[in-house]
Structure 1
């Protein structure tokens, strides 16, 4: 059975499961390296988008999705 386990790789190349309850099984595995998470572009656009997000018209347009108070 194929299984996916989220792991962290340290500077020495040692692999550690992120969930401490998981133990890596003995055997062979394929490792897919993920791109580092880059929040910079989201942070850079936040101020520009907030100008539109904070308009009363936006609150009104999305009011139907808000929980009833």
Structure 2
């Protein structure tokens, strides 16, 4: 029982320490966050459009419409 208490106490302290350190070095994470958010939304929109229009493209290809025109 004692070892479990020590383990969980150490776990909680490590999580608190990591959160504290991350709040102190947020200036390092801010450019990474901006970079990811800049790329994330266009990629998300492109994936959405791909999955929306892919069945239409396959349908038109089955109707013998060339892929470039479809």
Q: Which has the higher strand share?
A: 1
Q: Which has the higher helix share?
A: 2
TM-score, shorter chain, exceeding 0.5? no
Find the structure with the greater CA-based Rg. Answer: 2
The TM-score, its normalising length taken from structure 1, stands at 0.31
